[in-house]
A and B are shown apart, each in its own frame.
Chain A
Amino acid sequence: MDNEIDKKDVQFNETECEEAPSILEEITVEEMAVDGICGIY
């Protein structure tokens, strides 16, 4: 099945985590209402 993840991927060591710092950070989306940015519209 397309959704299966290999069992060998279930365990990963701390070193692998340290090497991927950007991937471990939580993603927080910021939003901004931008109606009428320029003043004429």
Chain B
Amino acid sequence: MSGRAVAVVGGVTPRWGVRSATWSELAQEVGAALFRAVPELRSEDVDSLFVGAAEPERFAFQSHVAPLVAEQMGLRPHRIVQRTELACASGQSAIRSAYAAIAAGLSDVAVAVGVEKMNLPSMAEANTAMACVMDRPWDGPAGATAPPFFAMVAQRHMLEYGTTEEQLAAVSEKNHRFANTNPSAQFYEKSFPRDKLLRLPLIAPPLRLGDCASMTDGAAAVVLAGEEHVRRFTDTPAWVRGSGQYSDFHNLANAGSLTDWVGLKQAVRQALGQAKISIGDVDVAEVHDCFTISEIIEYESLGLCPAGEGGRFAADGRGDVGGDLLVNPRGGLLGCGHPLGATGIGQAVEVYQQFAGRVPPARQSPDPEWALVHNLSGSANVHSVMVYQGGGAA
């Protein structure tokens, strides 16, 4: 890594779910929660603001959201103020942009915040918004949205490798169980044992309701700081040590193999290479389980198991507590819900809290040093990865 060292020095995830609150109210709520969670933070410290929001135009009929969020949060950014949009990875994009700005010396203390309000009076309208993520004039008229696309991914994985519905349910059960330890999660109070998951209705066969992340209202925020400012805020920073990204295709016709996620392999190689570690060094991972099949292919693409063995990896509990690597202890997108722009920020909050030893024991990684965060976006055509190191000096 070149440039100034940068760390996440605090953050917060308020309640996610079907919220009785507007888009702007979610922004205001996360602002109030952030200043409570990071009491050392003063409004005037924040020189820059990066807002991850995928589709405020569609979900809230609102553009130009960066200054809106600044006002809602009580911030007056005076160096950089912008929105980042990368569909499901909009939140991580905000963090990456803040990191890049601080590393380059253009910012000292920045807030990265994600906001999405997805539950609308008409679910069909919300589903229409989700469909805009695809190549709208070409794939849209056929009704392309995420569930049928990832269903085809699951179908091919089952055909090519013998992956089973029970293995998909193993991912969902684990992440929902972790969500039961996370009061911010959409499904904090709901339990999903495997036999129940296998009886839920099909949404896009072979995917059932429990295989799909929900439509979620929610926000999350983190503070990032340059190395000389870090100790003002925390003794347990999460240092950004690597980041990688890869954009492979957009129209579904150009996806190539549905089960070999080349872009993720590229992004993770970049990120781990910058951090000078290997996947075996990672203690906790937050990966993008928008669907159960996603987490299974991510096990393979991250190099945790050979191609085709992700299903068995899940069923054998190798991504669970006491397994090879603790994956999605926060509850994942399946358990926490997936407010698009907030998801990547919520994952970073979990990493910060894991390093600080501040999560419930049922999901705490024992003394973690390295964490990896992954988001895919759209039809898994873009992959974004960040690597964090806990403790230690800059």
Question: Bound pair: A and B?
Answer: no
